[in-house]
Amino acid sequence: MKRGMSPINLTVLTLGFAFLYLPIFILIVFSFNESKLVNVWAGFSTKWYGEMAANDALIDAALVTLEVGLVSSTLATILGTMAAVLLTRFGRFRGRTLFAGMVLAPLVMPEVIIGLALLLMFLSLGLSRGTLTVVIAHATFAMAYVTVIVQSRLMSMDRAIEEAAQDLGCPPFRTFLNITLPIIAPAVIAGWLCAFTLSLDDLVIASFTTGPGATTLPMKIYSQVRLGVTPEINAISTLMIGVVTAGVIAASLINRRSHRRQGRADAPPRPA
Amino acid sequence: MNNLSPLSELTERWLRPAVERVPRGLAIGIPYAWLLIFFLAPFAIVLKISFAEPQLAMPPYTSIFEFLNEAGDYFSVELNLGNYLLLIEDDLYWRAYLNSLKIAAISTALALLLGFPMAYAMARAPERWRGPLVMMMILPFWTSFLIRVYAWIGILKGEGLLNGFLQWLGLIDQPLAILNTDIAVYIGIVYSYLPFMVLPLYATLEKMDESLLEAAADLGCRPFKALWKITVPLARPGIIAGSCLVFIPVVGEVVIPDLLGGSETLMIGRTLWSEFFTNRDWPVASAVAIVLLLLLVVPIALFQRHLLVRAEATR
C-alpha cells in the first residue's frame, strides 16, 4: 500500500489547520505587543502580563474558576464513572433507557436551556446561588462527557479478568476497585481533564447559575470583551491556552504510555 | 445445607445477598438520583414556569398552583398560555427561531464542506501521522471557546488584520465591514465547531476499507463517482453525528452572535438570554426554552440513537 500523502490531501490539511491555528497564533503574538492597539505591532513587551497580574478582580475570578473546576470535575468524574459502569456492566436494569437518555442529553443540549433549567431548579430547592450551584451545574453537564469516555474504555477492555476475579469469590465492588479501576484509570483521568477544561471554559451555564461574589474567569473576560479588545485579555488568554495545551499533551502522553504497556502485555515481544 | 443452623442459614440466604446488593443499589441509585434531580426535574420546573405570569418579586413569577384550604382541600392549577401566545403574536420570536435554524443549517453545511476533506485527508494520512493529526484537531477544541471567538474580533474588525492584509494585497480600497454581520457569525461558528464535525467523520472514514475504492477503480469507476457512491454512504454515521453535534448547539448559540454578530443578527439563544437577564421576564424565557427544546427533539433523538447504536455495536 502506498504511504505518504497525496498533494491534494496535504494542501487540504495545511489550509484547514492554518484556519484553526492562525487566529490563536495571532492572539498570542499580540499579547506581547507594546502598543494598546491589538492590530498594530509596536515592539515586544510583557507589560500586559504585569497589568493582568495586578488586576485583583481578574485574579479573584481566576481563583473562583479554579476552585469550581477542581471540585466539579472531581464530582463529575465520580458520577460519570458510576454511570459508565452502570451502562456497561449492569445489563438491562429497570429504567435503563431513561438513564441512558438523561446521561447523554447534555452533550448536545443548548447551554442556555441547561443553564436556565438548573437555575430555576436551584431556586425551587432554596439553594442560594454562588460557588456551590455552579459546581453542581458543571458536574451535571460534564458528567456526560466523562461517561462517554469511560464507557468506551469499559467496552473495549477484556472482561475475562473481571469474571476470573468474581469466579474466585471476589465481591463485585472489590473486583471493581482492584481489577477494573486500575485498567480504566487512563480513561478516568482523561475524563477528569475533559470535565475540568469544560468547567474552565463555560460561560453560559455559569452566568445563569452563579450568584453575587462568584464571578468566574470566562464571565469576567466576557464583560471586558464586550467593552472592547485589550491586550490584557490577550495575555490572560495566552496563559490559559498555555496551561490547557500543557495539560492535554501530558494527558496524551499518560494515555500513550499506558497503551504501550498494555500492548506489551498483550502481544508477544517483537524482535528489535 | 441441612446442617446449617437457622441463624447461619438466615445469614447465607438473606442477609449476605442483601448486603452484597447494597453497593449495586448505591451504584445505580446515586447517579440516577443525581440526574433525576439536576437534569429531569429542572425541565419540569421550566415547563411549570412557562405557564406562570411575571411579577415584580423574587422569584419574579406567579405560582400556577393554588391550594384553597378553607373551602376544603382543593387544589387548582391555572395554566396561563399568555407566554406562548406572545411567542406566536410577536414576530420577533418566530423570526429569531427561523433565523437560528437557518444560520445553524447553513453553518452545518459549511462545516461539512470544509470538514469532510479534512477528515478524509486525515484518514488517508500515513498511520504514524494520524495520532498527532487527531491531537492537533482536538487541541483547539480544548482551548477556551470564548477566547477563540475573541481572537476573531481583532482579525475581522474594520481596521483589523484581515482588512489590512486585503488592502496590502491591493484587492480592496475600503475596509470591508465584516465584523457585526452575519458573515462574521458564520466564520465564528464554522471555526468553533469544525472539530465537532471532523472528529466523528474521521472516526468512520478511518475504519473504511480502502480496497473498496481500489476495486471500484479497477472496474473503471472514476474517483469522484467512487467518492460519491462508496465513501460518502459509508461515512453516513459520521456525517449524521457530526451534523447533529454542530447543528443542535448552534441553534441555541449565544456568545458568537453576541460578540461577532450585529444588533440585527437575531438568534433565539440571544433572545432567551436577554429575556432572562435584561427584561427579567422568566416566564417568557421559560416558554422560549420549551419551544426551542421541542424544535430540537428530533435532532437530539437522532443523535442519541446514533450513540446508542454505536455503543451496542461495539459490545
Half-sphere exposure in the Cβ direction for A241 (13 Å, CA): 23
In angstroms, rounded to a whole number, what is the distance separating the alpha carbons of residues B220 and A63? 64
| Residue A83 or B13, more confident | A83
Measured over all CA atoms, what is the biggest interatomic distance in chain B, rounded to whole angstroms? 101
pLDDT of A73: 96
Between A17-21, B125-129, B269-273, the lowest mean confidence (pLDDT) is in B125-129
With a CB-CB cutoff of 8 Å, which residues 245-274 of chain B face chain A?
A: 245, 248-249, 251-255, 258-259, 269, 272-273
Domain stops at, among B45, B77, B109: B77
pLDDT of B73: 58
Residue A1 lies in a domain: no
Supply A214's cell numbers.
Answer: 462568584
- Chain B touched by A227 (CB under 8 Å): no
Q: What is the mean pLDDT of residues B44-65?
A: 77
B137 interaction partners in chain A (CB closer than 8 Å): 20
**Cross-chain Cβ contact B43/A103 below 8 Å:** no
pLDDT per position as a tens digit, A57-71? 888 999 999 999 999
Domain count, chain B: 2
Cα of A123 vs its chain's centroid, Å:
27
Are residue B233 and residue B189 in the same domain, yes or no? yes
Which residues constitute the domain of residue A209?
53-266
Q: What is the mean pLDDT of residues B210-232?
A: 85
Looking at CA atoms only, how far is residue A261 from chain B in angstroms? 17
Q: What is the mean pLDDT of residues B38-42?
A: 90
pLDDT per position as a tens digit, A97-119? 888 888 888 888 889 999 999 99
- Whether B93 shows a pLDDT value over 50: the answer reads yes
Q: Residue B283 — left, alpha, or beta (φ > 0 → left; ψ -120 to 50 → alpha)? A: alpha
Tell me which residue of A203, A134, A69, A62 sits closest to B147, measured CA to CA.
A203
User: What is the pLDDT of chain A when averaged over all its residues?
Assistant: 85
- Whether A260 shows a pLDDT value over 70: the answer reads no
Closest residue in B to A135 (Cα–Cα): B38
Are residue B46 and residue B115 in the same domain, yes or no? no
- Whether A4 shows a pLDDT value over 80: the answer reads no
pLDDT of A205: 95
Supply B263's cell numbers.
Answer: 444588533
Nearest by CB to residue B118, choosing from A16, A107, A203, is A16
Q: Is B2 helix (H, G, I), strand (E, B) or coil?
A: coil
- Whether B85 shows a pLDDT value over 70: the answer reads yes
Residue B133 lies in a domain: yes
**Cross-chain Cβ contact A110/B164 below 8 Å:** no
Which residues constitute the domain of residue B89?
82-313
Are residue B95 and residue B190 in the same domain, yes or no? yes
- Chain A touched by B135 (CB under 8 Å): yes
Q: What is the mean pLDDT of residues B35-41?
A: 91
Residue A124 lies in a domain: yes
- Chain B touched by A218 (CB under 8 Å): yes
pLDDT per position as a tens digit, B272-298? 998 888 888 888 999 999 999 999 988
Closest residue in A to B246 (Cα–Cα): A108
Residue B307 carries which side chain, given as an amino acid letter?
A: L
Q: Residue B180 — left, alpha, or beta (φ > 0 → left; ψ -120 to 50 → alpha)? A: left
A221 interaction partners in chain B (CB closer than 8 Å): 146-147, 150
In angstroms, rounded to a whole number, what is the distance separating the alpha carbons of residues A87 and B10? 32
pLDDT per position as a tens digit, A41-57? 778 888 888 888 888 88
User: What is the pLDDT of chain B when averaged over all its residues?
Assistant: 84
Are residue B107 and residue B47 in the same domain, yes or no? no
pLDDT of B185: 95
What confidence category does residue A270 fall into, taking pLDDT thresholds of 50, 70 and 90?
Answer: very low
Which of A30, A72, A85, A120 has the highest number of chain B CBs within 10 A, making it the mutation to test binding with B?
Answer: A120
Q: What is the mean pLDDT of residues B84-103?
A: 89
In angstroms, rounded to a whole number, what is the distance separating the alpha carbons of residues A267 and A263? 6
Chains A and B form CB pairs within 8 A to the count of: 241
Torsion of CA A260, A261, A264, A266, to 10 degrees: -100
Which of A40, A112, A152 has the highest number of chain B CBs within 10 A, making it the mutation to test binding with B?
Answer: A112
**Cross-chain Cβ contact A105/B151 below 8 Å:** no
With a CB-CB cutoff of 8 Å, which residues 87-126 of chain B face chain A?
A: 114, 117-118, 120-122, 124-126
CATH code of residue B254: 1.10.3720.10
Are residue B193 and residue B259 in the same domain, yes or no? yes
Q: What is the mean pLDDT of residues B40-50?
A: 89
A27 interaction partners in chain B (CB closer than 8 Å): 147, 150-151, 154
Closest residue in A to B250 (Cα–Cα): A110
- Whether A248 shows a pLDDT value over 60: the answer reads yes
Are residue B110 and residue B67 in the same domain, yes or no? no
pLDDT per position as a tens digit, A207-243? 999 988 789 999 999 988 888 777 888 888 888 888 8
Looking at CA atoms only, how far is residue B139 from chain A in angstroms? 7
- Whether A136 shows a pLDDT value over 70: the answer reads yes
In angstroms, rounded to a whole number, what is the distance separating the alpha carbons of residues A251 and A194? 10
Residue B30 lies in a domain: yes
Nearest by CB to residue B24, choosing from A8, A148, A172, is A172
Q: What is the mean pLDDT of residues B294-310?
A: 83
Are residue B175 and residue B265 in the same domain, yes or no? yes
Residue B1 lies in a domain: no
pLDDT of B197: 94
Domain stops at, among B77, B98, B128: B77
Domain count, chain A: 1
Residue A19 lies in a domain: no
pLDDT of B314: 59
Bridge partners (DSSP) listed for residue B76:
B66
pLDDT of A252: 74
Residue A134 lies in a domain: yes
Q: What is the H or E stretch that residue B154 is in?
A: helix B145-156
What confidence category does residue B3 fall into, taking pLDDT thresholds of 50, 70 and 90?
Answer: low
CB B243 within 8 A of CB B302: no
- Chain B touched by A101 (CB under 8 Å): yes
Q: What percent of chain B has pLDDT over 90?
A: 30
Query: Hey, which bits of chain B come out as E strands?
Result: 65-68, 74-77
Cα of B14 vs its chain's centroid, Å:
47
Residue B157 lies in a domain: yes
Are residue B182 and residue B251 in the same domain, yes or no? yes
- Whether B261 shows a pLDDT value over 80: the answer reads yes
Q: What is the mean pLDDT of residues A19-26?
A: 90
Are residue B117 and residue B192 in the same domain, yes or no? yes
| Residue B166 or A18, more confident | A18
Between B9-23, B51-65, B145-159, B180-194, the lowest mean confidence (pLDDT) is in B9-23
What Cα–Cα distance (Å) separates residue B234 from each residue in A23, A145, B114, B239? 33, 26, 18, 10
Residue B109 lies in a domain: yes
Residue B105 lies in a domain: yes
Looking at CA atoms only, how far is residue A106 from chain B in angstroms? 9
pLDDT of B65: 62
CB A176 within 8 A of CB A159: no
Residue A37 lies in a domain: no
Cα of A228 vs its chain's centroid, Å:
28
Q: How many residues does chain B have?
A: 315
Supply B233's cell numbers.
Answer: 454512504
What confidence category does residue A1 fall into, taking pLDDT thresholds of 50, 70 and 90?
Answer: very low
Nearest by CB to residue B121, choosing from A9, A90, A173, is A9
Domain stops at, among B56, B77, B98: B77
What single string gives the DSSP state of each residue in chain A? ---S--HHHHHHHHHHHHHHHHHHHHHHHHHTBSSS-SSS---B--HHHHHHHH-HHHHHHHHHHHHHHHHHHHHHHHHHHHHHHHHHHS-S-TTHHHHHHHHHGGGTS-HHHHHHHHHHHHHHHTPPPSHHHHHHHHHHHHHHHHHHHHHHHHHHS-THHHHHHHHTT--HHHHIIIIIHHHHHHHHHHHHHHHHHHHHH--HHHHHH--TT---HHHHHHHHHHH---HHHHHHHHHHHHHHHHHHHHHHHHHHHHHHHHHHHHSPPPP-
In angstroms, rounded to a whole number, what is the distance separating the alpha carbons of residues B45 and B36? 12
In angstroms, rounded to a whole number, what is the distance separating the alpha carbons of residues B146 and A222? 8
A222 interaction partners in chain B (CB closer than 8 Å): 146, 255
pLDDT of B281: 87
Q: Is B176 helix (H, G, I), strand (E, B) or coil?
A: coil
pLDDT per position as a tens digit, B184-202? 999 999 999 999 999 999 9
**Cross-chain Cβ contact A244/B304 below 8 Å:** no
CB B282 within 8 A of CB A119: no
Are residue B162 and residue B282 in the same domain, yes or no? yes
Residue A27 lies in a domain: no
Q: What is the mean pLDDT of residues A75-83?
A: 95
- Chain A touched by B20 (CB under 8 Å): yes
CATH code of residue A228: 1.10.3720.10
Between A62-71, A84-93, A213-222, B34-43, the lowest mean confidence (pLDDT) is in A84-93
Tell me which residue of A104, A100, A135 sits closest to A209, measured CA to CA.
A135
- Chain B touched by A10 (CB under 8 Å): yes
Residue A185 lies in a domain: yes
- Whether B247 shows a pLDDT value over 90: the answer reads yes
Buried b (16+ CB within 10 A) or exposed e, A220-241: bbbebbeeebebbbbbbbbebb
pLDDT of A98: 86
Q: What is the mean pLDDT of residues B130-153?
A: 85
Tell me which residue of A142, A10, A245, A253 sits closest to B138, measured CA to CA.
A245
Q: What is the mean pLDDT of residues A69-89?
A: 93
Are residue B36 and residue B52 in the same domain, yes or no? yes
Are residue B50 and residue B170 in the same domain, yes or no? no
Q: What percent of chain A has pLDDT over 90?
A: 31
Residue A34 lies in a domain: no
